[in-house]
Amino acid sequence: MDEQNNCEKCEEYLSGWKRAQADYQNLKKESEREKAEFAKYANERLLSELLPAIDQYNLALTYIPDMTSLSPEEKKKYENWLVGIKAVKSLWDQAAQSVGLTRISVDGPFDPQLHDAAGTEAAEGSEPGSILRVIQDGWSLHGKVLRPARVIITS
């Protein structure tokens, strides 16, 4: 009887140990998942702080000076400078993509989850509520909106 009682106790202890092991493994997996989730969004604040600099850089690229009146030597200098500036933009774009930072699409209908309507304007041939133009790019990090795109929509 004592031996049977001991075997039952052993089975009970073994079963408890197995449950504890399974609980520990589940806790470990949950902890790893939480760490991965934290790491995914750890740079959110830094990236939000960099967005105005990215905006200004993109704005500067829209005002490339006219080089037609320059001498060939001066024109070549500007063209080389412009190649460098565009290369820096390409590096910014690659870095943003590698950390999951993406520009919010403004193609298609207005979506209040992704876009901030800064105003409305009449536009012939456009469906009311569609995006007419972008005032400020919107950005998301791994699908989470950091900043909605500021847009003008048709009335």
Note whether 92 and 136 are same-domain residues.
yes
Note whether 33 and 69 are same-domain residues.
no
pLDDT one digit per residue (tens) for the chain, 155 residues: 567 777 888 888 889 999 999 999 999 999 999 988 887 778 888 889 999 999 999 898 888 888 889 999 999 999 999 999 999 999 999 999 999 999 999 998 899 999 999 999 998 888 888 999 999 999 999 999 999 999 999 98
What digits encode the pLDDT tens for the residues 80-108?
999 999 999 999 999 999 999 999 999 98
pLDDT at 124: 84
Q: Around 24, how many Cα atoms within 13 Å sit in the side-chain half-sphere?
A: 6
Note whether 34 and 71 are same-domain residues.
no
Measured between alpha carbons, how far is residue 70 from residues 21, 65, 73, 80, 101 in Å?
76, 11, 8, 14, 38
Note whether 26 and 70 are same-domain residues.
no
Please tell me whether the overall predicted TM-score, pTM, comes out greater than 0.85 for this model. no
Question: Whole domain around residue 128: which residue ranges?
Answer: 43-154
